[in-house]
Amino acid sequence: QPTGWTPESVSMPEREAIRQLAKINEIQLSTHATPNVAISGIGEQGFSEDQREKALFEIKKAIDFAADTALGGPVVLHAQEFPRSIAEQYGKEKYKFEQYPTEKDKAIISLVDKESGRMLNLRRDIKVPEVEKDKSGNPIRDENNKLVVEMRSFQSYENEFKKLTPQEMKKYDNSTGKYFYAKYRESEKQRLDAESEFYDERVRELESRKDELQKIRQEVESSKNKEYVAYLIQERFKEKLSQEDKNLLNKNPLEFFKSQIKNIDIQKNRLQEGAEGYAKQAFNIQHEIDQATPIEEYGVEKSAEAIARAATYGYDLEKQRNLERPIIIVPENWTPEVYGSHPQELKKLVQESRKAMV
């Protein structure tokens, strides 16, 4: 049929006619669900529950159509669950297939935020700056006493990952991709941690200065000798006072202290906001690293659950209408650049869907 036709495009009289024609010609029919529907719920920004429900709704309409026209039987859907590198999967084969030259070195590493379903993509050819360290783990410095920084590739992290213990690998979901992503984001987190600590240290310095001011203020309030007061303040304050501060100090020492403490509070609040802002950004990066999961682990679970729900819907319909044949959901491997096309991927999808249906 022309592109754009879906099960609801066929009316009930037409469905009856299809069923009768099949019966007259003594043939059995199978049904293909609307194409280009990813039941995993994958979209441009990542995985979406709304998108997954829409895809499942399309499959259910195909199941209804199969019940009306074929009295059951297989309902085929495209296994196009999510994108992944051809070189990564098919590169293990004898002929080392790839989608384009150098795909193995440049392909996208796809991870997913398991809380939001958002895609976290990283290219394999990205280089990550890291400070070189000696065997004891101490940073190496050059002849000018500056830290030596090297640019590290995905390959170097992959080799490093293989040397980790099973417990360490588990921390990264046994995924080289997540390990690489963590190292990539950690350099940014280190900068934010340093910024937050710098601002927080300034806040502590100002708090200490404020405490000192308040102590001197108490001495000033209890002293009746203004000259002694001025001397006391200038001795305690090593930094230079502005002429305006000096004038205020000589005129009204208590107002001077009030003004100084107020300025400290303003500076402290600004620095505190900076410290908290950088700390929150650093925390958010660590949270994203912790929530990142390999796309296969996340996507197969979503696909299997949706396929199982479609199969359960078909099973219930089969029993309600006492259909001649059982309704069977049949994932079909389709296009090589998406998960589900390789036989091992299709096998895993079927097995996980069966578990989910049970």
**Each residue's pLDDT expressed in tens, for the chain with a length of 358 residues:** 446 678 888 999 999 999 999 999 999 999 999 888 889 999 888 999 999 999 999 999 999 999 999 999 999 999 988 988 888 777 677 777 888 888 888 888 999 999 999 999 999 999 999 889 888 888 899 888 999 999 999 999 999 999 999 999 999 999 999 999 999 999 899 999 999 999 999 999 999 988 888 887 787 777 777 666 667 666 666 566 777 777 776 677 777 778 888 889 999 999 999 999 999 999 999 999 999 999 999 999 999 999 999 999 999 999 999 999 999 999 999 888 899 999 999 999 999 999 999 9
Nearest to 76 by CA among 14, 34, 113, 127: 34
Give the CA-trace dihedral at 163, 164, 165, 171, to 10 degrees.
Answer: -160
* Distance, CA of 134 to CA of 140 (rounded, Å): 6
**Hey, which residues does 122 pair with through a beta bridge?**
109
* Beta strands, E only, 143-203: 149-152
The answer to whether the predicted template modeling score (pTM) of the entire model surpasses 0.75 is yes
* Distance, CA of 358 to CA of 341 (rounded, Å): 24
